[in-house]
Amino acid sequence: MALRGHGLIDGRGQAWWDLPCKPHKARYGRIVREPCDSTVAIRFFMSNNIRVEGIRLKNSPQFHFRFDGCQNVHIQSIYITAPPLSPNTDGIHIENTINVEIYNSVVSNSDDCVSIGSGCYDVDIRNMTCGPSHGISIGSLGKHNSRACASNITVCDSVIKNSDNWVRIKTWQGGSGAVSGVIFRKIHMENVRNPIIIDQFYCLTKNCSNGTSAPPVRLKCSDAVPCTNITIGDVELLPSRGALVLDPFCWNAYGEMHALTIPPVACLLQGFPRSVLESDVGIC
């Protein structure tokens, strides 16, 4: 299937954006306080050999594009925009989807530019421009003690600006599975609050445990199963004028600096932890 064109689709999501933040009427007149199951602008489900090119989308109630259970997805030259404070307006979300190419596209929104969920393999993202946004994220994974896996994900030759995050992997405590074969390379950022994040203590409340300040590199890995084989090199993270540079933060993170890194990530642990060798938690 091919979806091509140069027109603009307006999701008119303003009426939906306010609902997750306040009690609202649900089915049968009930008053509920959970977030609404807002609609998605364009969704592909259990589809193969998809090409999306040239489409412009704005103001979706929730995700702008969503791909569930798909194979062989090619996305190119799309433009997505939503204003600040428009919750859950991810630009492109993929879940249980294999062999994905996202090229030469622009996303400006109030959530993830691209979000990669469980069951995604062989994802190639190139020449993206993101921002304002929450950056490019893998996750969140493992919610409600579920098993989640994702692998062979590459993001390169892209720009992220005026964003909360740069590149991020986020998982919930209690989940299982693995994220592996991830490469972030040749990514330029401007005015990004949290550049590099691995967060295995992800939560959405203000009273999260294991919270930290906002260092330029934050690698918070699980107590039970550490992060391993992390390689960082040729990274230069400079503060805005007059700002202080915090030291990178690592927790149970194993790896090495392969080349010059500013600031140096000296907190990485060396070697390979025995707990990983003896555990089957990460089997996918």
Catalytically active residues, by annotation: 134
The CA distance from 166 to 143, in Å, is 22
The CA distance from 80 to 244, in Å, is 34
At 65, list the tokens.
Answer: 């594009």
For residue 128, give the nearest of 168, 181, 185, 170 by alpha carbon. Answer: 185
Give the three-state DSSP class for 190: strand
Cross-strand pairs, 98: 71, 121
Are 135 and 163 in contact, with CB atoms under 8 Å apart?
yes
> DSSP per residue over 64-131, as a string?
SEEEES-EEEEEES-EEE--TT-TT--SEEEES-EEEEEEEEEEESSS-SEEE-TTEEEEEEEEEEE-
